[in-house]
Amino acid sequence: MIDKETRERIIALVHQEVVPAIGCTEPISVALCTAKATEQLGCRPEHIDVKLSANILKNAMGVGIPGTGMITDEMVLKMMTQK
């Protein structure tokens, strides 16, 4: 068991660092990883393999992406077909 002071410091740190997510973060996390890969490569990748857990995939499918008017499936298809 941890002492009371350490526990309180951990709780304070969690309150300071953790903020609620609004919407579904899974599609955006894949997009951010893809953007970083593109930046590091210096060009647009020809192919990207994304390995997701069943839970992340379930959470991401069919979710609306704010500001786009699209759901995840539509967004993925649009990104795949853009050159």
Q: Where are the domains of the chain?
A: 23-81
Q: Give the tokens for residue 36.
A: 């970083």
Which of 19, 33, 23, 20 lies closest to 65 in space, CA to CA?
23
Q: What is the dihedral of CA 52, 77, 82, 39, to 10 degrees?
A: -20
Average pLDDT for runs of 10 along the chain of length 83:
92 87 70 85 84 74 69 59 54
Q: Give the tokens for residue 59.
A: 């959470």
What is the pTM for the complete model shown? 0.45
Query: How far apart are the C-alpha atoms of 19 and 73, rounded to whole Å?
Result: 27
| φ/ψ (deg, to 5) at 21 | -90, 140
